[in-house]
Structure 1
């Protein structure tokens, strides 16, 4: 039976030489190379140096120090280790069953909720589009901006009705020439520092014919 014991010992030595996957705590990260490399400290005190963090194509994250990670030594070799999963309990946001959140260390997130609802939470949202933006809403779109909305564009077209309620401000101000095609119905007075021309007749410079002293009325304005 001596050869059996010797074979068992050889197998045990071979298994001890194979490095199994282990859990570690990320201590530093380097984004300078083409690959994202990290340093990590295992739960048993082992050190992992310049370990590549593998991520899904199209999704890149800067894993912060202190994150938990799973280190996988390829072919059981420590020198060929990669990090295949990372997590940071203090930063992770809770989600419901079937929901997804993409989040940052500061708490900004994109939350795909149940009921086909998408919620975005951030301090500033910048969208850069080369050609065009198409927003289609089956019912309505609501935008709330405490500091105002600025449209920087050479042309703005509204295909439907436009209503300015004045609930947040008492006036609508335009600093540009305005051309209106169609009828205008006004409730309230109009105050203007310039002349008014109606049907080719100037309000400020037109003349009246048939004027006689006394209490009679003037004739129609001359063009």
Structure 2
């Protein structure tokens, strides 16, 4: 008799365990509150609105419509679902290597921590802005290279360098310090010197920068 009485509760427990998790499709997002809430479709006839989506601290995103979801139901109750995972298949970066990580958006912008190629930031032709930094320091063990076809603008009261600076490096072999030294020591040949208050125009300097 004891076994027969236990069958009902046991079946209910098994049923709740089997329905504790489900896969769903995300159809809408409300990101205005302290906790993001979403609308999910568990099937063509089962839609849940206002389901909270819980993400790790320090990471926040707005999943696109049609994203896959993993939903956990508290106590197996289908009215108490919490979204604990999302994936947007069309925009998910593929073929990552072991140990690699990438932070990405739907339109392809990303910060890619590669296994052997360093860190790659892909801005997709859009601006990159750093706001309200007290100081910005780049510690490089090698060369810092800046490629800017549109030019470089520096809005600063002073630009300092502990080393030499060189412009037109493809054709100019001298640094600014070397050109200053040449300018300080150069001489001009003066021809047709006259006395009194006469003046003459000198030739080009003997030393060329």
Q: Tell me which interval the TM-score lies in, with the shorter structure as reference length.
A: 0.7 to 0.9
> 1:21 is matched with which residue?
21
**Alignment pair present for 1:147 and 2:150:** yes
**CA distance in 1: counterparts of 2:106 and 2:118, whole angstroms:** 23
Q: Please report the TM-score for the alignment, with normalisation by the length of structure 1.
A: 0.71
Using CA pairs below 8 Å that are at least 6 residues apart, which structure has the higher relative contact order?
2
Deviation string for 1:14-66 (max 9, x for gaps)? 54456421000000000122210001111474222211111111111111111
Contact 2:20 2:75 (8 Å CA) reproduced = no
Deviation of residue 166 (structure 1)? 6.2
Do residues 184 (structure 1) and 181 (structure 2) align? Answer: yes
1:163 and 2:162 equivalent?
no
How many equivalent pairs are there? 183
**Other structure's SS at 2:182 match:** coil
Residue 74 of structure 1: how far off its partner (Å): 1.6
Counterpart contact for 2:104–2:110, Cα < 8 Å: yes
* Structure 1 unaligned residues grouped into runs of 5+: 168-179, 187-197, 199-207, 219-223
**Contact 2:36/2:52 (CA < 8 Å) preserved in 1?**
yes
Q: Distance in 1 between matches of 2:5 and 2:44?
A: 30
In the alignment, which residue of structure 2 is the partner of 1:97? 98
| Residues 59/39 of structure 1: CA separation in 2 closer, same or farther (3 Å cut) | same
Structure 2: gaps (5+ residues): 171-176, 188-192, 201-209
Deviation at 1:184, TM superposition (A): 3.5
Q: Does 1:84 align with 2:84?
A: yes
Q: Alpha carbon RMSD of aligned pairs, Å?
A: 3.1
Q: CA deviation at 1:108?
A: 0.2
- SS across alignment from 1:161: coil
Query: Structure 2 CA distance, aligned partners of 1:80 and 1:130?
Result: 43
Q: Distance in 2 between matches of 1:136 and 1:111?
A: 20
Q: Which moved more, 1:98-107 or 1:140-149?
A: 140-149
Distance (Å, rounded) in 2 between the aligned partners of 1:212 and 1:68: 93
Residue 28 to residue 140, structure 1, CA distance change in 2 (3 Å): same
The answer as to 2:10 corresponding to 1:11 is yes
Q: Moved runs in structure 1, 4+ residues, more than 4 A? A: none
Q: Distance in 2 between matches of 1:133 and 1:127?
A: 9
User: In 2, Cα distance between the equivalents of 1:10 and 1:104?
Assistant: 46
Give the helix-richer structure, 1 or 2: 2
CA contact (8 A) 1:69 1:83 kept: yes
The residue that corresponds to 2:42 in the other structure is: 42
